[in-house]
Structure 1
Amino acid sequence: MDDGTWVDPAGTTEITFGKLLERYKGSVTQTKRSRRSEECRIGKIMRNKIAEYSMRNLTTSILAEYRDQRLKEASNSCVCRELATISAVITHAQREWGLNINNPAKLVKKPRLPPGRNRMLKPAELERLLHELNAERHELRSKWLVPLAKLALETAMRQGELLSLLWKHVDFEERTAYLPMTKNGKDRYVPLSSAAIAIFESLERVDERVIPISQNVVLCAWPRACKRAGIEDFHFHDLRHMATSNLAKKLPNVIELASVTGHSNVQMLKRYYHVSASELSRKLG
């Protein structure tokens, strides 16, 4: 108490969980690259009755009830992310804000995550999709959608990485594209195939960005094109799965493949690499 470091446990436990969420959203979430998705997630949690509980009364059983309720409305993956956010907020309050509170979220059983997506387009489906992307009503948008999809297939780059790629970071001599910031917080150089180089060379330079459209344009145009092409349950991110599987045929070395795709570990890479039993049988001879 003389040093001014003592904290009254009774006082800290009376703080509501909603107050912690609000403070975390305003001070920590704003520093993250994924702040938009986390802001949305925290907003949903704050609208739930668990935000009204004090930290003294927020127990594992209450969070388990929250989990079960959310599983009726959302997917297992979504609920797992929400529980992870709840745990992160409380842990941050313990470590950084000096609050003497428990973290009941650590004891809550997480829902089982579904297996990784394995949606691969057949050549005819891909051709129909590219045709419909090119036929998008807004001409200024459609001219960028097809090269965006083709680059995703050739480089295995994420949508956000492609939309933020600058011309000054494309090196035609070294055949690389530099990404100063990726999803895992690290930079990386992406090697470019001859087909990828040809796509870059065919693009008009109208902006400092290679693909000068916003993510909202893709979000709006993609489902419309898939519907017109008669393709169901296919996301833009599935192109990354297709690209990784195609690259694996050229780069059997897992370390080399991971350096191209930007995966930080083999387990995550495994979720993106899909090979059929018939392909493996042909390799066996």
Structure 2
Amino acid sequence: MATIVKTPAGTWKAVVRKTGWPTNAKTFRTKRDAEDWARRTEDEMVRGVYIQRSGSERMTLEKALERYLSEVTPSKKPTTRKAEATKAKQLIQHLGKYSMAALSAEVIAKYRDTRLGTQSKRGLPTSNNTVRLELALLSHLFTVAIQEWGLGLTFNPVLNIRKPSPGDGRDRRLSADEEKRLLAAVNNHSNPMLGWIVRIALETGMRSSEITGLRCHQVDLKKRVVRLADTKNDSARTVPLTKLATETFRAALENPVRPKDCNLVFFGEPGKDDKRRPYAFTKTWGLLKKKLGMPDLRFHDLRHEAVSRLVEGGLSDQEVSAISGHKSMQMLKRYTHLRAEDLVGKLDKLERKTTKRSKQQADN
């Protein structure tokens, strides 16, 4: 039965008690609202569908994201942890004061449209992919809240809105002149590790984190392979090395300034805790590419370049994916951009073969 009482503050408190269910109470401004809630709650209890919503009504998105970052995010990779913290800041800035129960599909769709219309710190429009990933974080937050936190949420509102398309992917390729100037600059840098890292990226298509995180025992110069255990998609793979990549690794492993107690192939200076971590070259890379007049060149574009060259060299999609670590052919296509001028030569060869075959058939 429900009990409706007036409080000293002039509001109305509804208390619902029913066998088999915990006592529930809620305060309203009017008596009618209290009666409606009590009637609806009792009806849901009778039908066995009542869900305690007070948790989701009290918890704001800001508090929910703080809990997510402290309980869920730490189990992920360091790069993912950093990225999720950045995405959470944007969500909190725009939606942080909403309760989890108040975050409807309409509210989230408005957030999506607002974000797509804003500019990044670099003055560029916020990309579709950035907003899509922010919504992915919000969606997983709701999934965890529903399945594990018991907040009384019945559905994930992010699933009911349109997501921005991921886009066509970057198609930045290095010209011969750019590559020449880039390699000259990194090879002349005071720290030879920068040049070695760039050359290895171009020769192997390995990611920046995969290269800088390498330990000496992972590089097998005799068999000319690098064994990667910790990759972005959590799948171990073995990367074959070209002759140039092998010699580059040899130079890196024979680095005369490597500390005896450090088995990182590319190592940085000791931190405040006296531990050495992978060589951090992000700032140096940013300054260098601007100096060379290539401000739009990202280090990850070197991976694009390497994968495209593997395809242009005649390797099959399966062979390229085994080297690059792409799990799907669709994803591999986004990273592969063939130069049209290179395809012209192949078309000429194909035409000559076709003409020769036709002539032979005519002679016969």
TM-score under structure 1 normalisation? 0.91
Q: Which has the higher contact order (CA 8 A, sep 6+)?
A: 1
Q: Aligned in 2, Cα 1:178/1:216: closer, same or farther, shift over 3 Å?
A: closer
Aligned partner of 1:37 among 83, 86, 107? 83
Structure 1 unpaired stretches of 5+: none
Q: How do 1:1-285 residues align onto structure 2 when only pairs under 5 Å count?
A: 8-14=51-57, 15-33=59-77, 34-48=80-94, 50-71=95-116, 72-73=118-119, 74-101=126-153, 102-136=155-189, 139=190, 142-203=191-252, 204-205=254-255, 206=258, 207-213=262-268, 217-284=280-347, 285=349
Aligned to 2:173, the other structure's residue is in SS state: coil
Code of the residue aligned with 1:263 in structure 2: it is: H
Percent identity, please. Answer: 35
Figure out how many residues of one structure are paired with residues of the other and give that number. 279
Code of the residue aligned with 1:93 in structure 2: it is: A
Query: Following the alignment from structure 2 to structure 1, what is the Cα–Cα distance between the partners of residues 314 and 150?
Result: 49
Which has the larger displacement, 198-207 or 231-240? 198-207
Query: Following the alignment from structure 2 to structure 1, what is the Cα–Cα distance between the partners of residues 243 and 218?
Result: 17
Per-residue CA shift, 1:21-50, capped at 9, x if unaligned? 1111110001100111111211332232x1
Query: Could you tell me whether the CA contact under 8 Å between 2:228 and 2:238 is conserved in 1?
Result: yes
Per-residue CA shift, 1:141-184, capped at 9, x if unaligned? x3111110000001100000000011111112221111111000
Per-residue CA shift, 1:227-270, capped at 9, x if unaligned? 22222310100000110011113353111110000101101110
Once the 2 structures are TM-superposed, how far is the Cα of residue 110 of structure 1 from its aligned partner?
A: 1.6
Once the 2 structures are TM-superposed, how far is the Cα of residue 120 of structure 1 from its aligned partner?
A: 1.0
Query: Could you tell me whether the CA contact under 8 Å between 2:56 and 2:152 is conserved in 1?
Result: yes
Code of the residue aligned with 2:128 in structure 1: it is: N
Q: Aligned in 2, Cα 1:28/1:248: closer, same or farther, shift over 3 Å?
A: same
Aligned to 1:271, the other structure's residue is in SS state: helix
Query: Following the alignment from structure 1 to structure 2, what is the Cα–Cα distance between the partners of residues 88 and 218?
Result: 32
RMSD: 2.1
Per-residue CA shift, 1:186-234, capped at 9, x if unaligned? 2111111111111111223413111214678321111211122222310
| Larger of the two Rg values belongs to structure | 2
Q: Aligned in 2, Cα 1:42/1:216: closer, same or farther, shift over 3 Å?
A: farther
Aligned to 2:168, the other structure's residue is in SS state: coil
Which has the larger displacement, 181-190 or 199-208? 199-208
Code of the residue aligned with 1:65 in structure 2: it is: K
Code of the residue aligned with 2:65 in structure 1: it is: L
Q: Aligned in 2, Cα 1:215/1:123: closer, same or farther, shift over 3 Å?
A: farther
Query: Following the alignment from structure 1 to structure 2, what is the Cα–Cα distance between the partners of residues 63 and 216?
Result: 40
Q: Aligned in 2, Cα 1:98/1:196: closer, same or farther, shift over 3 Å?
A: same
Aligned to 2:162, the other structure's residue is in SS state: coil
TM-score under structure 2 normalisation? 0.72
Query: Could you tell me whether the CA contact under 8 Å between 2:267 and 2:279 is conserved in 1?
Result: no
